[in-house]
Structures are given as structure tokens and as C-alpha cells.
Amino acid sequence: MTFRRDRVAALAVAALTAGLLAGCSDDEPDATPTGDGPSASATGTPSPSETAPVDRSREVVDGAAPLEEIGTTTGASGSSFRGATFTFYRLDASPTSTLLVWTMTGGGGSNPQDANYLSWELYPRMVVDDTEYRVLTYSRQGEDDTEVPGAVSNPVLRLTDGTESSPQSALFPPLPDDVDEVELKSPWFDNLTLPVSRPG
Amino acid sequence: MRTAAATLAALALTATPTVAGATEAPPLPTVEDVPVLAQTWVGNVNDDRLAVLSVHGLRRIDGGTVLYYSMGTPQDALGDRATFSAYGNGNTYVFPQGTNTLCAAAAVDAEQGLAYGALAASTPTGCLSTGIVDFATTAEDPERAPVAHVVLAEVPDDVDVVDVFVASQLVQGVPVEDGPLEPTVEEAAPAVGTGWPSVDAAEVAEADDSRSVFDLQSRVKDLSEDVTTTQDGEQQELDLDASVLFATDEARLTSRARSVIADAAEQIEAAGTSGTITVTGHTDSNASDSYNLDLSQRRARAVGRALEQRLPDGITVRTEGKGEAEPIADNGTAEGRALNRRVTITLPS
């Protein structure tokens, strides 16, 4: 089976369509009245009769931890990312998965073609000693109703010279408890070693 | 308006210097009356600003699981209105449901190998979610962080914690709890802290979950033996690299293959396997269908014979060839073709 190579273009068109939809929908809000829930509610949440609701937007948004850089590397010469810079912000290991967060800054005409989520085999690999961890994939319906895997990640739609992209993320299998750094390998960029963080 | 790059640069400047071997993930804010279970930064296809996405709840209800989350613009990037339904890189492809980014969401249970995506419904978004036009701020009130929701497939009762995919970003360690968040309000996308969107039980009951649950594949490779252990849903497989087992276009095992197969046999035995295992040959898409089918069958038989000699009594081996019919990676890339050239040993569930 041969995959089509125009997927990046298709993603871009669909993204534009989504943007247009956002501007023309007449979607109406659900006006279901408030009722008593069947079981648990948010811990400590008062009912409207007890206290006036308070907009907590600023506390929630401005309380977010900043993204902290943990490593950088350059785009591989043989990839569509030649000339780009990769900056890594998170490598968080939980008991069941590992999360990688990064951005790309375009340069030298680099483009994101190699980062298509359907080409999961090109995604970074985490190497610890003699063990290699691949990005998680999920099964999706492909052409001819066959099931093909896609990376549990987000598609990259644009890369501009001199501009840092929005954060990308991908999910990997869990790492052993005693691992505190991994080597990251990928056709996209030059290898680098990153520290592992673990949720408190 | 600040750009995403400027925001990231500013954040990096204010951050504590990174220490190799760091052991703790960033803390979450503690906010009165508002559970904040996870947070991440999200980009937008139409807007250079980053938004903060906060997950507030993942709650089981009859027929589904409600994901509550909010998005807001940081104080130093406030400006024009923000349309949060366009955040997430325009993704409607990963864990897709319908045609809108609001529906591309899932509760990811990596441990069990399943992801619970949005329920399908005859709504403008294609799923049961906050409406597209509601999930936004206005120029008059840019500081507001509206709450959105999307109804996912039912997460089983015995699953306590999952990862979440929403707005093209992933967050880890979200607890799955019971019952909707309360109090609910009539507003479709209330400011966070002022109540939670209500979910229509009748709509959930009518929603379609037939394409909402996705199998996950987890691949861990032993580089010393070129054996990849793949967990595909509940199915465990060992993938042997055909490029190591055979010369190009050949079905005779190489000298290196003996060691690889011996390692696989040890893993099969160590797993306490009994019953029938299946050895399946696969090829890339080069050459014709019929040639690849025949090659894959011959290769499967060669591996099956060698494997059988190394397995204890009580395990029988069945072989088959699939040719190029079941690729696991993109045949359009060299890396993908290499992964597709494989012999898979499937253990009994």
C-alpha cells in the first residue's frame, strides 16, 4: 500500500476550512437547566445559592507554569527540517506514558513535511541503553478500509523562517523508574540527550 | 499582539535554569472552587498567540465521559478576540470525530492500549461539544477563559487515570471521576469559576460510539537483538526485522537470524505463553502483490520452523503470509518500508 504524499496540503486545506466554519456556524448553546448531579461534584464547589460565582480566569491562566527549555538541536541535513532549530521543553515520564513537548524554529527554507503524523516512523525515538521507545500510535481507517497507524501527536501545519512554532507534543511508552535521561534520535534532527522529569 | 515565539522567549527568560536530571514536572495552580488537573500551552492556526489550556474534569456519565477544559490568553498577550475553536494546529485528524478541532479529543489509556475519542453526533461540530462560536473571547472581555466540554466514549470503571489529548496537545495523569461537574449553568461556555456547561443526557444516549474507541500500539525495541515488542490493544506481538532475518528477496535465514529467533523464543517462554502462536510474514510495497505474498509466506515458514525447535511443548506454531497488505508504517519513506518488512509473532491473548 502506498500512502499519498499530498497530506500536508490536505491538512492545510482542512485547517482553513475549520477556520471558516468557525466564522459561519449558527451553532446554538445548549440551554439545559441546572439539575442535581447523580453523584460527586467538584471538590468544594458551592452551589449558586450559597455564593456568587467568581470568574477565576486570571488565576487559572496566569498560574500556568512557563515552558522551560531543556535542550536544543538543529534540523538534520537530510530532512525537510534542514536549517531549522528544535527546542525541547518537556520530557515527562509517568508510570504509564512519556510526554515530549518541543517547538521548531524555521530556517533556510525548512518545512514540516517530514513531521506528518501518519509517518510515525520518522518521529523521534527515545533510546536508553539497548532499548528504543517509539512514539505511540493509534489505529485509524485508511484507504481501502485498512487500518493504518498514526502518531499520538499533533500535525505540524506551518514552519516559517525565524519564527518559533507553537508547541508540539507526542506520547511515548513509559520509561523505567530509574531513567533520568534519554538520548533522542530522529531523521528530523541531530541526536541529543534530554533530562527526564517525573510528575510529583 | 505578542507572537508565540515572543511568549515562549519571555517564558524561557523567566524560567528557572534547567538542571540535568530534573525530577519534577511543573506545578499546577491551586484555584478556589476550580479543579485544575493538568495544563499545557496551545497554538493556533489563525493567531500567533499561545493559549493556556487547563483540564478541569474528566467525568463519567451514563453513556459517556465528559471532558471539561478551559482556554485563556495570558495576561501579557491579551489583545483582540481569541477564537479557541481554532486552537490546536487545525487538527481534526488525530483521534478524529466530525470535522472540527473541538471533536478531536480523547482519553488515552496507554496502559490498556485504548483511547476513548469523542462520540459522534448530528451537531454542527459532528460531536457533542461546546459550539464553535461560543468558545471565544471578545475584544471587550479578553481576559475571560471560557470553559468548553466534549463528550467522549465511556471510560471503563476500572480506569482511574488517563492521559488526555485535546486541542492537539497532550497532558498526562488526569483522574477519571464520576458524575458531571457542578454547579451547571445555562451558558454554553461560561468563564471558568462561574459554573460548568451542562450536558444533555438524551443527546448522549443517542450519540454513536461505533468509531470512538481506538486501539493504541506501543513499540519497544531491544536494539541488541532487533526484536520489537508491540502491544496492540490487548494483543502482544514480537516484530522481527526481516532485513536482519533474510537477505533481500530471500527466504533463507541468515546466520544472525538464529540469535534473533532464539531471543524471541526466550521472550515467548518467559511470558508464560501456551497454545498457538502465529508467525506472519509481511513485506513492503515494492514488487508485485503476488510476489510479496509468496515471499512473505516462505519467510513466515522459515521463521516458524526455527522458532518451533526452540519452544517448549505446549506451544504450537501457525504460519501465514500477508504480503504487503498490512503495513504498519508509511511505504512512502525508507524508514517506513524498513518497518513494514517484518515477521510478526503474535502471542495468544
Mean pLDDT (chain A, rounded): 78
| Angle between helix B255-270 and B289-308 (nearest 10) | 70
Q: Nearest by CB to A42, from B14, B57, B123: name it.
A: B57
- Show me where the domains of chain B are located: 30-215, 217-346
Determine, for residues A169 and B40 on separate chains, whether the beta-carbon distance falls below 8 Å: yes
Quote the distance between the C-alpha of residue B180 and its chain's center: 24
Class for the domain spanning B217-346: alpha beta
pLDDT for A14 beyond 50? no
Q: How do residues A35-59 score in pLDDT, each as one tens digit?
A: 333 333 444 454 545 567 899 999 9
Q: How do residues A113-155 score in pLDDT, each as one tens digit?
A: 888 888 899 999 999 999 999 999 998 776 667 777 899 998 7
Q: Nearest by CB to B14, from A16, A66, A157: name it.
A: A66
pLDDT for B320 beyond 90? yes
Q: Which amino acid is at A92?
A: D
Query: B309 or B234, which is more confident?
Result: B309
The pLDDT assigned to B145 comes to 97
B55 to chain A: closest CA residue:
A60
Determine, for residues A68 and B18 on separate chains, whether the beta-carbon distance falls below 8 Å: yes
The pLDDT assigned to B88 comes to 81
pLDDT-wise least confident of B92-101, B166-175, B316-325:
B92-101
CB pairs under 8 A between A and B: 406
Q: For residues A105 and A89, give the distance between their C-alpha atoms in angstroms, rounded to a whole number.
A: 13
Bridge-based pairing of strands B114-117 and B51-61 is unpaired
Q: Nearest by CB to A200, from B25, B161, B224: name it.
A: B25
Q: For residues A118 and A16, give the distance between their C-alpha atoms in angstroms, rounded to a whole number.
A: 20
Angstroms from B314 CA to nearest CA on chain A: 30
pLDDT for B240 beyond 70? yes
Determine, for residues B18 and A198 on separate chains, whether the beta-carbon distance falls below 8 Å: no
ipTM for this prediction: 0.89
The pLDDT assigned to A156 comes to 73
Q: Using a CB-CB distance cutoff of 8 angstroms, which residues of chain A are in contact with residue B153? A: none
Angstroms from B168 CA to nearest CA on chain A: 5
Q: Are A88 and A72 in contact (CB under 8 A)?
A: yes
Determine, for residues A60 and B29 on separate chains, whether the beta-carbon distance falls below 8 Å: yes
Angstroms from A34 CA to nearest CA on chain B: 5
The pLDDT assigned to B13 comes to 36
| Domains annotated on chain A, with CATH | 71-195 (2.60.40)
Q: How do residues A51-88 score in pLDDT, each as one tens digit?
A: 678 999 999 999 999 999 999 999 999 999 999 999 99
B28 to chain A: closest CA residue:
A64
